[in-house]
Amino acid sequence: MRIKIAYKLFIVNLTIILLLVLAMQVISYLSNKEVLNDFVDHIEGQMLEHIADEISTKYTQEQSWKVYQLNPRLWRETIFEQIIKYGALLKMPKDKANGLDKHFPKHKFMPFPPDGNHRPPAFKDLRKNRIPRPAQNFIDRISLFDAQKSAVIAATVHSDVIRSKEIKLNNTTIGWLHLNKRDFTVTTLASFYLTKQLENSYWVGTIGVLIAALFSYFLSKHITAPISSLSDTAHKIAKRDFTTRIKVTTNDEFKDLARSVNNISEKLAKYDEQQKQWLMDISHELRTPLTILDGELEALADGLTPFNSLTIQSLQEEVTLIMRLVDDLHELTVIDKLSFECQQENINITKLLSHQLDKFSCKYQKTNIELINKVPDNKTFVKGDHDRLCQVLQNILKNGLRYINTPGKLTITAETGQHSIQLVFHDTGPGVLKEALPKLFNRLYRTDESRNRRTGGAGLGLAICKNIIEAHGGSIFATLNHEGGLSIHIDLPINNQL
């Protein structure tokens, strides 16, 4: 089953949102529970303080704790009087009281007025209505000890002591109050409050999840919109429609990806145009000698041209041109893969250049062209393919023999820099138009001013040189010099790891 990225993002975002909401619900419940129980503990501590003050007054009157030993009811009533002062702990909405605590009284407890004009309900009335469970539990957890820490009234809830209060009279300890730990973790008030909080948080969480899911859906659509555009463009490029471009308004990785795809489309369009031009140029270059061959052979067949050595020589010249063109085309195809196939070795480039100049010196003398060698006699090493670099130097020197007007000169210099060496071939002309300089290294490009079909090549030599030099990490370009001729510059990186 194929699921779109937009839906996957939506599902992931929704899952994360649900987990976060659930985690917040749990954390909120636990934190509120802890806060509320701490609050109740604080209130119980305050009540314990007031109970200690109250029973110390009774002790002053009786000078003994027997008043509580003999009258447990008085003990419970004394404690309950202090609880009523904190009546907020006993309050509960009428519609919730039955659900949370069935023992809540029907009457409303009011805090004990500070002026003492009104007494709290009598203990017998409390027994009639039954003491609320939170108050009863608090009473059952209190123990009274005398000064010798002997139990006067023991708590009926047996648990660890969580709070102790020393009872003093005139700076003399007369007893101790101990409050044992509750046998439940959530008070009735806390339980009611937490229930209300959970109900509210459920609604808030549900509404929040719905809103977040809506935004997540549209956000997922917005994020994946550039992907759809990229996919459509890729399909068009696969169908050789290189004119299409991607428009991405976001300033992120999608914009970089769109720029790369547009760049690929532009280069493919350029390559497609060059390929068409390449096929047209090849067909044109082959058509001319083949037309001549066809015409001469037809003339021979019709008896219009005598079959002699001149006719054979003419046919051989056309076949030679075709063979040279085919060889150059094959060579250029091989050179295109040179970066993956060239043999890497350390080469003394100045020595290699001087050796090639010595080989061509006799040919230049015969054509009345002076060959001037200004290459310094030092060791400069480059890393590359020996045979391919020889091919570059030979192509340039052969071009000098073909195109330099006689008498003329070809001066070769070499300048070594920190990271590269530059070889320059200066000739005395003829030069080319300035507009033609960038095109000299294009395949099958020929200038009418300096080349013709018989003396020149098919326009592949410099293209081959360019591929070889670039495969070695260098560059090659042409400029016009002050002598009216052409200068070929070759830059090669030096191997400094020797």
70-103, pLDDT tens digit by residue?
A: 888 888 888 888 777 765 444 444 444 444 344 4
What's the confidence (pLDDT) of residue 430?
Answer: 86
- By the 10 Å C-beta count (0-12 exposed, 13-18 middle, 19+ buried), 488 is classed as buried
- pLDDT-based confidence at residue 104 (cuts at 50, 70, 90): very low
CATH of domain 253-335: 1.10.287.130
What's the confidence (pLDDT) of residue 61?
Answer: 78
Q: Verify cis geometry, omega within 30 degrees of 0, for the bond prior to 105.
A: no
Contact assessment for residue 80 and residue 120, using Cβ atoms and an 8 Å cutoff: yes
pLDDT digits (tens, 9 = 90+) for 218-268: 877 777 777 777 888 888 888 888 888 887 677 777 778 888 888 888 888
Instruction: List every span in the chain annotated with CATH 3.30.565.10.
Output: 343-493
pLDDT digits (tens, 9 = 90+) for 1-15: 566 767 777 788 888
Cα dihedral angle (449, 455, 461, 463), rounded to 10 degrees? 30
Tell me the C-alpha distance between 2 and 108, whole Å. Answer: 65
Each residue of 201-224: b (16+ CB within 10 Å) or e? beeebeeebeebeeebbeebeeeb
Tell me the C-alpha distance between 424 and 374, whole Å. Answer: 10
Q: Which two tokens stand for residue 299?
A: 């003339």
Instruction: List every span in the chain annotated with CATH 1.10.287.130.
Output: 253-335
What's the confidence (pLDDT) of residue 476?
Answer: 94
What's the confidence (pLDDT) of residue 447?
Answer: 61
pLDDT higher at 356 or 453: 356
Q: Which two tokens stand for residue 399?
A: 């071009």
Kindly state the average pLDDT of the residues 46-62.
83
pLDDT digits (tens, 9 = 90+) for 329-371: 776 676 665 554 667 889 999 999 999 999 999 999 999 999 9
Class of domain 343-493: alpha beta
Residue 449: which of 428, 427, 433 has the closest Cα? Answer: 433
Kindly state the average pLDDT of the residues 316-323.
83
Kindly state the average pLDDT of the residues 134-144.
81
Each residue of 87-104: b (16+ CB within 10 Å) or e? eebbebeeeebeeebeeb
Contact assessment for residue 412 and residue 423, using Cβ atoms and an 8 Å cutoff: yes
Tell me the C-alpha distance between 78 and 113, whole Å. Answer: 15
